[in-house]
Amino acid sequence: MTNLYKHIFWGATALILTVALFSLLSGSSPEPEKLTLDQLAAKVAAGEVAKISVSGNNLDIELKSGAKAAAKKEFDSSLSETLVNYGASPEALRAVAIEIKEESGFRFWAAVLLPALLPLIIIGAIFWFVFRQARSGANQAFTFGKINIRLFAPFKDRITFTDVAGLKEAKQELLEIVDFLKNPKKFLDIGAKIPRGVLLMGGPGTGKTLLARAVAGEAGVPFFHISGSEFVEMFVGVGASRVRDLFQTAKKSAPAIIFIDEIDAVGRERGAGLGGGHDEREQTLNQILVEMDGFERDTNLIVMAATNRPDILDPALLRPGRFDRRVFLDAPDINDREQILKIHAKGKPLDKSVELRKVAVRTPGFSGADIANLINEAAILAARQNRRSVSQDDLYDSIEKVILGPERKSRAISVKEKEIIAYHEAGHALMAASLKDADPVHKVSIISRGRAGGYTLKLPVEDVHLRFKSQFLADLAVMLGGFVSEELVFNELSTGASSDLREATGLARRIVTQYGMSDKLGPMTFGRHDGALFLGREIHAERDYSEEIASKIDNEVKDFIDGAYKKAKKIIASRRKVLDTIAKTLLEKETLEQEEFNRIVGRFNLKPLAA
């Protein structure tokens, strides 16, 4: 805000100065009497005029009485003709001395151009101030031609490896880079080639950016941070020149690290068509390659880059001598999650009741960023209720908030709707409790959250890296549990199950086309996925099979869904009493935690079934 006032102040000052200058230039202070042309002609006729000086269209008149006057003549017409036309006789005119003066250049320009230029000058002045402000603002963000980089000085806000939890292997790899930046001589003396490029790969939020900064912090060198999308986005046509600037600046402050975040924005495979043939991007990419090839062997500069889509990177980037060091960042396991929780709990007073380990248990699949977010949400929750410390329940609530979105207790639901939701969730929960390969239920609730009407939170017992066909079959049957329960109890279907069905269909299709788990189609994958399965994201699959196979796939998918549906129907029908009990309790209490749920189901002594 203060900046805005500054700009207004300077703008106003500029305005006042210009107006003052203008009036200074355009006239002398004691204003002479102004005459119209016919008045002037009358005065000439009466013989009162001694001298007329003409400069441009301005007439300066000296009267015989010694007084001065001024007049203007018509543009482009002769003065004598004009006066005669106004009734002064040629004889009377001849008695007047007429002097034609060269128009003063300065005055002419000032008088003619200044009024036209005035607005431009003011606007220009304001712009100048705004830009000067922006340039001197944080991080030098407004440099045309030069790059938009954030430079982190070595010891300011220093982040080190201790700020990064887990990621042991990645840190181990990067220690070598730190060592090189600190004592390059050791490596050069023995003739070792120093790596130039390090590519950090890992899912979103796994700590790539954080780790890159930590390397700079450990080595105590400047860290030039730019994101790939900034190269592409900001000004068309200067991507390549910005790369050059970046490398030049960085080389000057070597030893240093250049960090290109989200490099997939520029480093996408050239000519891959995705997003159109983007010349700008290709030139930027080429310039990066050229710069990296151009280092001297002893240039003490390391280029780090990060991406969560290594599968779409241009192979030229991965060639030896470029980003040939590749470091994988795994999703955090349970111990890492506990560490990350500890790191982010710093500065947030925790209740004595808090056991971070239990939070770690409940958050499989969370990335580091999710966990940081979770702890922050918990702190916000505590603060909103004016508590001084964060409790275990705050943390648990935040887990669900991060997964499912905020609770919407106030959403008005009719009694009937509430009953349907209760039976729907009870169906999921009962299936999960009945099948021995299903993940255990952590919580069932009929409080709506985000877009879901209610939810059943199931979590794997431990961190898993492999999943088995039997588990997938159980998952399918659990997903259909809600649908089946609604159908059995109300003899009617609602739209509430649509997202379950979509998810189930997707899973069944993956079982057939990607995991090769269908007996009919055999151990093959179908559809080229551009490595899209990498890090769990799918873009689009290209079809690489015949119509015939396509219809076989569809049939298999249908068979899997049908099987799961029949299974769910059989189990829920035969365990209707349990279903009713769960649903009733849900209607009463709205939410059942794991222990409570297990107690209810435990009373029935259910035999674990195979899916």
368 binds ligand ADP (CB under 6 A): yes
Catalytic residue check, 425:
yes
Q: Is 210 in the site for ligand ADP (CB under 6 A)?
A: yes
Q: C-alpha 189: how far from its chain's center?
A: 44
Give residue 181's identity as a one-letter amino acid code: L
Using CB under 5 A, pick the residue from 303, 432, 482, 530 that binds Zn ion. 482
Pattern 489-528, binding to Zn ion, x per CB under 5 A? -----------x----------------------------
Alpha helical stretches, state H, 33-167: 37-45, 79-85, 90-94, 105-136
Shortest CB 480 distance to Zn ion, Å: 9
Residue owning tokens 């900064």: 213
Query: Interacting stretch for Mg ion, rule CB under 5 A, among 93-101, 104-112, 201-209, 358-366?
Result: 201-209
Catalytic position from the list 230, 338, 419, 425: 425
For 321: left if phi > 0, alpha if psi spans -120 to 50, otherwise beta; the answer is: left
Q: Structure tokens of 388?
A: 């001084």
Our CB check for Zn ion shows the closer of 385 and 495 to be 495
Per-position x/- string for 269-308, each x denoting binding to ligand ADP as judged by CB under 6 A, each - no binding: -------------------------------------x--
Report the partner that residue 482 touches, choosing among Mg ion, ligand ADP, Zn ion, none (CB closer than 5 to 8 A by kind): Zn ion
* Cα–Cα nearest to 577, from 594, 549, 611, 600: 600
Residue nearest to ligand ADP (CB): 368
* Interface with Mg ion, residue 209, by CB under 5 A: yes
Q: Are 292 and 243 in contact (CB under 8 A)?
A: no
Smallest gap from Cβ 537 to ligand ADP, in A, equals 13
Per the listing, tokens 């889509």 go with 309
| 427 belongs to the binding site for Zn ion (CB under 5 A) | no
Question: Does position 343 bind ligand ADP by CB under 6 A?
Answer: yes
Q: Which stretch binds ligand ADP (CB under 6 A): 160-168, 245-253, 389-397, 465-473?
A: 160-168
Let me know how long the chain is. 611
Instruction: Report the partner that residue 281 touches, choosing among Mg ion, ligand ADP, Zn ion, none (CB closer than 5 to 8 A by kind).
Output: none
Single out the segment in contact with ligand ADP by CB under 6 A; choices: 33-41, 170-178, 277-285, 368-376.
368-376
Q: Least CB distance from residue 164 to ligand ADP, whole Å? A: 5
**Is position 207 an interface residue for ligand ADP (rule: CB under 6 A)?**
yes
Span near Zn ion by CB under 5 A; candidates 237-245, 476-484, 541-549, 603-611: 476-484
What are the strands of the beta sheet with 68-72, ordered from one edge?
33-35, 68-72, 58-63, 49-55, 97-101
- Our CB check for Zn ion shows the closer of 285 and 479 to be 479
- Looking up tokens 């000519």 gives 271
CA angle 373, 377, 381 (to 5 degrees): 175
Q: Which of 37, 62, 197, 206 binds ligand ADP (CB under 6 A)?
A: 206
Which residue lies nearer to ligand ADP by CB, 318 or 369?
A: 369
Structure tokens at 329: 């960042």
Q: Return the exposure string of 436-475: e unless at least 16 CB atoms fall within 10 Å of the residue's CB, then b.
A: ebbbebbbbbbbbbeebbbbbbbbeeebeeeeeeebbbbb
Per CB under 6 A, the segment of 22-30, 163-171, 383-391, 445-453 that binds ligand ADP is 163-171
Nearest residue to Mg ion, using CB? 209
CB of 130 to ligand ADP, least distance (A): 31
Among 195, 197, 205, 217, binds ligand ADP (CB under 6 A): 205
CB-based contact 159:257 (threshold 8 Å): no
Cβ contact 255:181 at 8 Å: yes
Q: How far is the CB of 456 from ligand ADP (least distance, A)?
A: 28
> According to the binding rule CB under 5 A, does residue 453 interact with Zn ion?
no
User: Is the dihedral angle over the CA atoms 526, 528, 534, 540 positive or is it negative?
Assistant: negative
Among 43, 73, 196, 208, binds ligand ADP (CB under 6 A): 208
| Sequence-separated (6 or more) residues with CB below 8 Å from residue 572 | 427, 430, 431, 481, 484, 485, 488, 579
Q: Does 255 help bind Zn ion (rule: CB under 5 A)?
A: no
Closest to Zn ion by CB, 218 vs 400, is 400
Q: Whole-angstrom Cα distance, residue 479 to residue 431?
A: 9
- Cα–Cα distance, 59 to 246 (Å, whole number): 63
Q: How many CB atoms lie within 10 A of CB 509?
A: 19
Which residue lies nearer to Zn ion by CB, 377 or 425? 425
Residue 591: phi and psi, rounded to 5, are -135, 135
Residues noted as catalytic = 425
Chain residues that interact with Zn ion, rule: CB under 5 A? 482, 500
